Amino acid sequence: VVERRPLSHLRRTIAERMALSATLIPHVTHFDRADITELDAFIRRNLDAGRARGVTLTLTSFLLRASALALGEHPQFNASLDAAAGELILKRYVHVGVAVATERGLIVPVLRDVDKKPLLELQRELGALAQRVREGKATLEDLRGGTFTITNIGALGGTGAIPIINHPEVAILGVARAREEAVVRDGAIVPRLLLPLSLTFDHRVADGADGARFASAIVHRLENPDTLLLGL
């Protein structure tokens, strides 16, 4: 016995975009882990202070900030490729999409000028944008113009994933669930909170060494929260 179910308009759109990306782009993925022990402690310490200002601090806002700053140093990942012209189109703005799971399917709203905004503003915008998406009230402007994408599946579990690039972008950052693990530091075994990351990028515009350096730039900022607050 089989059952045929028509695909929703959103699911058909997702299917078409994913097939296009997988067909056109030679994907390669670099894996890394960030020690977010200090960052997690900072978030926990400041939850009440954030709520007093109308926001609930989450890891995603720090991921947005870290990625935006790293993109400033590695602009080839904040770009699109014009293969016909043989040109890489570098974007001088940083508009980051954040994948949001909804009952209707995966939707990627975009936060604009992420590199120019402080953490609390990013968190406030992220919360409002995600709420609009889940309520089906997102506008076309909310969903277009991204230059880089973050997909965080940590709340759903798993140890990692290899996401498909959101064409015509050239890179996407996948984030899994952070787990406390035993780590050797200065000859002693200590518990540290490690966050798995996967950076998938277009191999036509960057090589493995480029991807490793870009991922390391994100990891460095997550491991040093002061750099996210100061924008260094």
Residue type at 209 in one-letter notation: A
Between the CA of residue 132 and those of 53, 63, 110, 154, what are the distances in Å? 20, 21, 12, 21
Catalytic residue list contains 203: yes
CA distance 177 to 80: 29
CA distance 32 to 16: 30
CA distance 137 to 27: 32
Sign (positive or negative) of CA dihedral 209, 165, 160, 216: positive
List 96's β-bridge partners, or say none: 111, 148
Task: Name, in order, each residue with C-beta under 8 angstroms of 213's C-beta and a sequence gap of 6 or more.
Answer: 74
Collapsing DSSP to helix, strand or coil, 177 comes out as: coil
CA distance 169 to 140: 18
Write down the catalytic residue from 27, 167, 203, 220.
203
The conformation of residue 135, written as its DSSP 8-state character, comes to T
- 42: tokens are 């900072």
Residues marked active site are found at: 203
